[in-house]
Structure 1
Amino acid sequence: MFQTSPGPRALRWTAGTVGVLALLALGATPATPAAADDPSPGVVLGKIAPVDGVEPGSTFQVPVGFTNTGTEALGKVWLSYSLSHGLSRTELAELPSNCKYLTIPSVDEAPDSTEAICEFDQTVKTGVVYTPEKQLAIRVRDSALYDHVRVGVNTDGFPYPGDNFSHPVPGTAPAVKLVEQPDATPAPSGSAKRSFSDATDATVTAVNTADFKVAGARLKGAVGDTVPLTVRLTNAGPAWVQRNGDTRGAEIVIKMPAGTTVVKNDSCLKRGSGRYACGTGPNWVKEGDEENYTFQLKIDKAVPGARGSVELTGPSRPFDTVTQNDKADIRLDVAGGDGASGGDTANTGAGTALPLVGAAAAVAALGAGAFLVARRRAHRR
């Protein structure tokens, strides 16, 4: 919800952090000067300090302030708040009626997000810092961990976020307006990077964990068979994880059992003899997400005691406090071999097959002996 002041539940910060954040939010940060002869209007947002140590289920605020650095007053301004997957706005009943809320689904390049856009139909003077009279309260979801808020100011129409967003839904709480902050230092005239908009980002780090785990497999077959292998990577949550830049969300290395050859592999890279590296495509893994990696293995020969593995690798995981499920075995039972690689030969049938073979040989030997005795007796007669 929008709140007049942060209050005791808004953020678990120190008093010094709150003071610094407020000063940064209300004072605008100079940007690269525009050309001196550019007559276009301009707006400059103040920077927002990182938000650290928030708890799932709590709410916090990002104090937003901006300056009209153009030469003429503005008649309308929009403020937008883009919230990453682990964050959300509060209930629509607590969202002002001059704000709208919408959702943006996940695409290949970005995870899903939510957006709150507020319209201020009022005069905005030049050279003055403005802030909403009540700042937006943002809720920390159970899945929050490494999140961010992107705040934008726009003077050129409703800033639709892109394709495939939901229909904007207006809030029902009383409308809020922009108020002047005469004690704040405005951004210099002509310092806007763009004529009609500006944006800034704030990182949000929650106190949370995410359990990445892997699952191996147990295979059965005979020499010469081709058998399917599927291993699984799961984020058991509760948090989602988004990495920086092009870093994959999670990675694993698979070591195949000795005596096998991979004849089909859809999505992993070979890393030496019998070793394959796999990972998530994007740089994020949502809570509850599963990735299955499939192979076709040809059993070339039976190797007693041979065993493969699947293991988490890649970037560090300080959020993952459960380590016993970071590695799993790939077991292969070969029928008719010298023993099963998993150490459990009864499951292959070999334990019963060998006694039967011995019995058959004994019966055959007994039959041959009886035949010879009968021939000798007949010859004597």
Structure 2
Amino acid sequence: MRQRLRPSYLRTSAAWVAAAAIAAAVPAIAAPTAYAEEGEPSLVISTLPTTSPKPGEVYDENVVITNKGTAAADGVTFRIRLTRGLDFPETVEGCTYSTIEDKVRQALCELDTVVEPGASVETPVRFKAQPSALMEAIEYGTSATGEAPGEGFGDSHRRLTLTADSSADLVAIGEDTEALAGDRQSITVGLRNDGPGWIQNQESDDQTALMVRIPEDTVATQVPEECAPFGIDGPSGPGGTPGKSTYVCWPADHTIDVDETLSFTFMLDIDDDAKTTTGEVKATSVYDIHPEFDKNPANDKAAIRVAIPTDYEPEPATSGGSSTGGSTDGGATTGGDGNDPEGQSTGGTGGTGGSTGGTGTTGSTTDSVDGNLASTGSDGTPLIAGAAAATAALGGGLVLAVRRRRAAANSS
């Protein structure tokens, strides 16, 4: 005999709820449950039909709870969980709502009913697709006895994955820097999600990732732990392994929120005879499969460029200038050109036989390359400005870490 709850009761109990699992891996489904031993209930629930909702749409379906045991289930605790792109359209009396780990929305509802052996009841499941909905999952059900379910899945507690009718735009972020041949240089590359959907693959381990091809004539000597060497068709070694030509990087929690940027910093050793060199970053997956949800491939790739000057030759240091007139005693110039009211020239210091009036030259030179290399010292040794100088000062002891940051609205 099949017992059906009154519709008015259903709409004020655990109805209007829906669920989503936290785990990304596909769970194993237990074999169908036979009738339990004498004196025990054994609740089984039907599966929800799949869907691909547009953001803003409400999903509204019923599940059937059937008692295949030999004892009645006196009351049923029905739990629903939704991943972050879904939410409950309204609260319902008899349900307790909360947000748990990984921003999962949960409803725990008490159904005040008795399900006799062989009988069935129905309860609705409702959820709404949010503007950020994309790859989602719903976890729903009870336990075999009607108590709150555990964390596994089976005939009484199920999981449905879905892909919303939406998209997410992945943007690869490269690096343009410069260094000297034989030097060390850090590069920071990134992967940004311009939305509108958040990203976390709920159906497989082919998670969204950034492919990094290291520029030629350089060696990656320090690598983030989140970046593994890439082989023929997937990761081929542990994260952080140095010395490889290609890496694939992804977040530990497999999640990229809307407007979030994942950043990965590498340290490169540059060959002594290197010329300007380039590499590439690409938005892809850990198995180098272009995500179907990304409908804008134009910004999936970006360049890594390390400019290495080849025409840089520091001028030799001089020991004074040369001009006409003035003193030749190797000290400061004291002669003038007749136009200085103090009778002193504007020349600099000179060495033996130094400047003799007029405008002299200092004992050190100042050179630059493309405006990005700092002045040389008095011994002609080139110094690298900015972050490169800091890196050199640390002796390469750069702490490599994946940094998350919110991308600026107009960042590339």
The residue identity in structure 2 corresponding to 1:277 is: V
Question: 1:219 maps to which residue?
Answer: 177
Q: Which residue of 1 aligns with 2:60?
A: 61
CA distance in 2, matches of 1:74, 1:161: 17
- Pairing of 1:217-296 with structure 2 (within 5 A): 217-244=175-202, 247-267=205-225, 268-271=227-230, 274-296=245-267
Corresponding residue number in structure 2 for 1:301 = 272
CA drift of 1:348 comes to: 4.5
Displacement of 1:295 in angstroms is: 0.8
Seen in structure 2, the aligned counterparts of structure 1 residues 335 and 316 have a Cα distance that, compared at 3 Å, is: closer
Q: What is the CA distance between 1:331 and its match in structure 2? A: 1.3
Q: Give the Cα–Cα distance (whole angstroms) in 2 for the partners of residues 310 and 3 of structure 1.
A: 56
* Contact preservation (8 Å) 1:246, 1:283: no
Aligned to 1:41: 41
The verdict on how the C-alpha distance between 1:242 and 1:154 changes in structure 2, with shifts beyond 3 A counting, is: same
Matching of residue 346 in structure 1 with residue 370 in structure 2: yes
Q: Please show how residues 47-86 of structure 1 align to structure 2 within 5 Å.
A: 47-52=47-52, 54-86=53-85
Going from structure 1 to structure 2, the CA distance change for 1:157 and 1:219 (only over 3 Å counts) comes to: same
Map 1:176-191 to 2 at 5 A. Answer: none
C-alpha distance after superposition, 1:266-315 (max 9, x if no partner): 22233485322323334443323322111111222354452121122323
Amino acid aligned to 2:139 = R
Residue type at the aligned position of 1:98: G
Q: Residue 4 of structure 1: CA displacement?
A: 8.2
Higher relative contact order, structure no. (Cα contacts within 8 Å, ≥ 6 residues apart): 1
User: What amino acid does structure 2 have at the position aligned with 1:279?
Assistant: W
Number of the residue aligned with 1:122? 113
Are the equivalent residues in 2 in contact too, given 1:41–1:69 (CA < 8 A)?
Answer: yes
CA distance in 1, matches of 2:32, 2:228: 44
- C-alpha spacing 1:305/1:214, structure 2 compared with 1 (3 Å): same
From the superposition, tell whether residues 56 and 104 of structure 1 become closer, same or farther in structure 2 (CA, over 3 Å). same
Report the counterpart of residue 147 of structure 1 in structure 2: 136
Deviation at 1:257, TM superposition (A): 2.2
> Which structure shows the higher helix fraction?
1
Partner of 2:148: 159
Encode CA deviations 1:165-189: one digit per residue, 9 max, x unaligned: xxxxxxxxxxxxxxxxxxxxxxxxx
The residue number in structure 1 matching 2:32 is: 31
Cα contact 2:275–2:309 (8 A) shared by 1: no
SS in 1 for 2:370: helix
What is the identity percentage for the equivalent residue pairs of Structure 1 and Structure 2? 25
Is 283-292 or 117-126 further displaced after alignment?
283-292
- Among 135, 143, 167, which residue is 1:209 paired with? 167
Q: 1:319 aligns with which of 281, 285, 293?
A: 293
Distance 1:218 1:302 in 2: 20
Normalization by structure 2: what TM-score?
Answer: 0.60
1:49 aligns to what SS in structure 2?
A: coil
Per-residue deviation, residues 58-82 of structure 1 (Å, max 9, x unmatched): 2111312111222233321111111
Whether the 8 Å CA contact 1:302–1:338 is kept in 2: the answer is: no
Query: Could you tell me which residue of structure 2 aligns to residue 178 of structure 1?
Result: none
In 1, are the aligned partners of 2:77 and 2:111 still within 8 Å (CA)?
A: yes
Cα separation, partners in 2 of 1:255 and 1:219, compared to 1, 3 Å? same
Secondary structure of 1:150's match? strand
Residue identity opposite 1:319 in structure 2: F
Counterpart Cα distance in 1 of 2:163 and 2:275: 49
1:223 Cα deviation (Å)? Answer: 2.3
Q: Residue 364 of structure 1 corresponds to which residue in structure 2?
A: none
**Could you tell me the TM-score, scaled by structure 1's length?**
0.64
Pair 104,44 (structure 1): closer, same or farther in 2 beyond 3 Å: same
Aligned length: 280
SS in structure 2 opposite 1:324? Answer: helix
Counterpart of 2:339? none
Q: Does 1:137 align with 2:126?
A: yes
Give 5+ residue unaligned stretches, structure 1.
Answer: 11-29, 107-111, 163-192, 340-344, 358-381
Distance 1:246 1:205 in 2: 13
Q: Which residue of 2 aligns with 1:182?
A: none
Given residue 149 of structure 1, which amino acid in structure 2 is its aligned partner? I
CA RMSD of aligned residues (A): 3.4
Question: Whole-Å Cα distance in 2 between the matches of residues 216 and 40 of structure 1?
Answer: 62
Corresponding position of 1:187 = none
